[in-house]
Amino acid sequence: MSDRGTVRPDVTRYRDAADESLASTYEEPISLEAYVDAVFETPSIAAHASEYILAAIESSGTRTVVEEGEEIERYRFFDDPYTDGEHAIQGHTEVLNDLVDDLRSIATGRGKDEKIIWIAGPTATGKSELKRCLINGLKGYSKTKAGRRYTIEWNVATLEDVGGLSYGDPPGVPPDRESDWYQSPVQANPLLVYPSEVREELVADLNDINTDHVDLRIDGELDPFSREAYDSLATHYQRTAGDELFSKITDPKHLRVRNYVVDVGRGIGVLHSEDAGSPKQRLVGSWMQPLFRELDSRGRKNPQAFSYDGILAQGNGVMTIVEDASQHADLLQKLLSVPDEATIKLDTGIQLTLDTQLFIISNPDLENRLDQHAEAGGADPLKALKRRLDKRVFGYLTTLSLEAELLRRELTNETEVWAADNYADIEARLREPLSITVRDATAGVIERELAPHTIEAAAMYAVLTRLDNGDLPADLDIVDKALIFDRGYHFEGDERIDADEFDIGSDADGSFGMPVTYTRDVIAELLQRSSDRQHPEYPVEHVIMPEDVLDALASGLSKTPLFSPGERARFENRVVDVKNYIYDKQEADVLDAILHDQRIDEDVLATYVEHVYSWGTDESIYDDHGAEIEPDPLRMKLVEVEHLGRFTDEDYDDTAPSEPVRQFRREYVITALNRYAWEQRDEEFAVSDVSVADIPTVANLIDQSEWSAVARRYEDLEPRQWRDPPSGTQTAAVKEATIQVMVQEQGYSPASAELTSRQIMSEVSHDWTE
């Protein structure tokens, strides 16, 4: 019985953790001079918007990944590190790197200042995840010391001749209250308080000591709300302050600097597809007429009576995103003044200086709208807009392991990013089973198992529907292409060929195919569907096999309007390729399990390799005491017969090898080692120093189990009886041992091991020789 719910934690620890979190995030307000002093210590805290986003991305460092066969550096920021990968972007590393290059050019002012970054692509390709990842990353970065973001607060309540600064509060409130302080509603940079000529000198001095590759740029003027406060203070003090007017205006009792956490609504503006209102409302906000009288505006429009809740006001200081931009196409032309002039009008004579990086996100339908006047040439009214859009396209993933990782995320709450040092680790993740708890209509809550290789099968099928096979050489098939894209290399015999040796990439790759949402929905439906499989011991009815998913994906093509008839036909043709690929994987598992106690130990294989190499090349070998010894013909024979199962006693004259044995030794061992020695020719080569795992052909000897070896080992095995073998037979004993190995060593459950081994042995039985 579970102990869940019997132990209650000390709930005060949650309060203490929250206190600690906020204490490290927020600072006490400081004076303007203290802020300037902090900027000279850490110039990055005053960075302009594009520089700030660039710094946030670069702050998390990089890691090496393989995508579409190419090894490239990826910014960890896009793995969503601040929320443990919750909205990590799967793949698209080359596109993301180009995006960072765009930001770098914009930040440095190298010819792209006027650019609006446009993220385009089909549905379900990760564009919305990019938005969430950017929000999470910028929010997390703003909580760090280097990423602190600051703005200004005003207080004029203590002035007798000035009405209280407010967002609608009436004048005459008691002075010296915390509630009398009002932040700039658009996150104004504190350095904007200085007169332009002083600010230019200050920024120049900062850039003299700034070690960053991007210079600081603080352009523009105070926002209208802050300007109203500034002017009110200036009017009050100008008759008495003398030469210290600026000091009076910026006295800590009137002006202070406070840090804020970047988030949606404060530093990040997001316009959603369903947001409504006039263009002005959506972009900057609206006037609140009832406040004019309360603020004693004397017939003019007081900027304190403006709502500042549009996306540009919210996103000032960091980033503005127009999501599903085709729904807001009417705004796009109005945004041209933002990157060009860095201003937008609130009303006649009242304008807001902006510092925000613009992103727009859209499906392909926006491109159709932008091209509606393309035939007009120079008379195209949208030409100016199109010139400013810097388009980056998210296509469908064409890397198998990334699609498998994404699919697991879609089916579960897993957020871990698959970072591995070698492809063997990725292969292990690919084949992993998955258990999901579902509520069954009759049985209540049950565990459904996606058997090993099931996620891999679904991911491979999705990837194959996205690949163009018209560019493949005769010796490669579409599965080979997918594996080259995933691994970054291909083997022809024992020769490893890197991906850059193949010219198999196509612009069409990733531009079409199954979206992950289709695959996810089909599997989700299977999880709720009952099965008529039965077994007296194992709950096989709860197992979903790779072929179950592949059949459901293929049969579902005709039931959804998502695909055209041509797409359905093309996708259906890829099912057989995936089934053959997965069958080979399952067959290798079953063979490995049957011959598990026959597997050769790597140390034994290493000694064998050393002796064979000496036998064929006269290379000296030494024992543990350093004495030179001769290659042992009996040891080599025993490995070849008993461990590798390659030969029988008839292939030797006592211990002397026949020509087939000699040829095997030359081809699989000596040639492979000589090739490895050539590849490592800059180093002193010694066969005793070589790990067999470094040489694929030699390493594969461990796993090259053959059904002929099974037949020699188990002469009374009957594959046709595998489903229900008679008690006391060799078949029953082999099956029991095989199931045990598959469960203990390969990640299968007893039920999925039963179904997988049953399927493989059914196929083997057709060619089995009694």
Over range 585-597, report the average pLDDT: 91
Three-state SS at 130: helix
- Does 164 have pLDDT greater than 60? no
Determine the pLDDT at residue 266: 94
Q: What is the DSSP letter of 759?
A: H
Could you give the C-alpha distances from 632 to 81, 534, 604, 619, 671, in angstroms and in order? Answer: 55, 53, 13, 13, 20
SS (H, E, C) 184-211: CCCCCCHHHHCCHHHHHHHHHHHHHHCC
Over range 377-388, report the average pLDDT: 71
pLDDT in tens, 211-226: 777 888 888 899 999 9
- Does 176 have pLDDT greater than 60? no
Query: Among candidates 753, 742, 762, which has minimal Cα distance to 543?
Result: 753
Determine the pLDDT at residue 597: 79
- Does 70 have pLDDT greater than 90? no
Q: Residue 417: CB partners within 8 Å, gap ≥ 6?
A: 79, 85, 88, 405
pLDDT in tens, 236-264: 888 887 788 999 999 999 999 999 999 99
Determine the pLDDT at residue 137: 96
pLDDT in tens, 429-438: 999 999 998 8
Residue 385 and residue 394: Cα distance in Å, rounded?
A: 21
pLDDT in tens, 297-333: 666 788 888 999 999 999 999 999 998 887 787 788 7
Determine the pLDDT at residue 679: 57
- Does 390 have pLDDT greater than 90? no
Q: Is 251 exposed, middle or buried (0-12, 13-18, 19+ CB in 10 A)?
A: middle
Strand-strand pairing, 350-353 and 343-347 = antiparallel
Determine the pLDDT at residue 602: 74
Determine the pLDDT at residue 1: 38
Question: What's the whole-number average pLDDT of the chain?
Answer: 86
Q: Taking the mean position of all CA atoms in its chain, how far away is CA 651?
A: 54
Strand-strand pairing, 444-450 and 267-271 = unpaired
Q: Residue 376: CB partners within 8 Å, gap ≥ 6?
A: none
Over range 138-145, report the average pLDDT: 94
Residue 126 vs residue 702, higher pLDDT: 126
Sign of CA pseudo-dihedral 247, 252, 255, 256:
positive
Residue 682 and residue 669: Cα distance in Å, rounded?
A: 21
- Does 208 have pLDDT greater than 60? yes
Residue 462 and residue 161: Cα distance in Å, rounded?
A: 71
- Does 160 have pLDDT greater than 80? no
Determine the pLDDT at residue 421: 78
Determine the pLDDT at residue 327: 79
Residue 407 and residue 426: Cα distance in Å, rounded?
A: 15
Q: Residue 665: CB partners within 8 Å, gap ≥ 6?
A: 612, 615, 616, 636, 657
Helix (H), strand (E) at residue 608: helix 602-617
Residue 734 and residue 744: Cα distance in Å, rounded?
A: 15
Q: Residue 152: CB partners within 8 Å, gap ≥ 6?
A: 32, 183, 184, 188, 190, 193, 226, 255, 256, 257, 258
Determine the pLDDT at residue 381: 64
Residue 262 and residue 319: Cα distance in Å, rounded?
A: 10
pLDDT in tens, 436-466: 988 876 667 888 999 999 999 999 999 999 9
Q: How confident is the model at residue 2 (pLDDT cuts 50, 70, 90)?
A: very low
pLDDT in tens, 275-301: 888 888 999 999 887 777 777 666 678
Percent of the chain with pLDDT over 70: 89
Determine the pLDDT at residue 167: 44
Residue 707 and residue 521: Cα distance in Å, rounded?
A: 38
C-beta separation of 323 from 128 below 8 A: yes
C-beta separation of 401 from 448 below 8 A: no
Over range 358-376, report the average pLDDT: 77
Query: Among candidates 703, 701, 673, which has minimal Cα distance to 687?
Result: 673
What is the rounded (10 degree) CA torsion for 633, 635, 636, 640? 130
Residue 747 and residue 430: Cα distance in Å, rounded?
A: 12
SS3 content of the chain, % helix, strand, coil (to 5): 50, 15, 35
Residue 379 vs residue 88, higher pLDDT: 88
Over range 471-481, report the average pLDDT: 87
- Does 373 have pLDDT greater than 70? no
Strand-strand pairing, 343-347 and 62-67 = unpaired
- Does 42 have pLDDT greater than 50? yes
Q: What pTM does this model have?
A: 0.83
- Does 616 have pLDDT greater than 60? yes
Residue 126 and residue 406: Cα distance in Å, rounded?
A: 10
C-beta separation of 457 from 546 below 8 A: yes
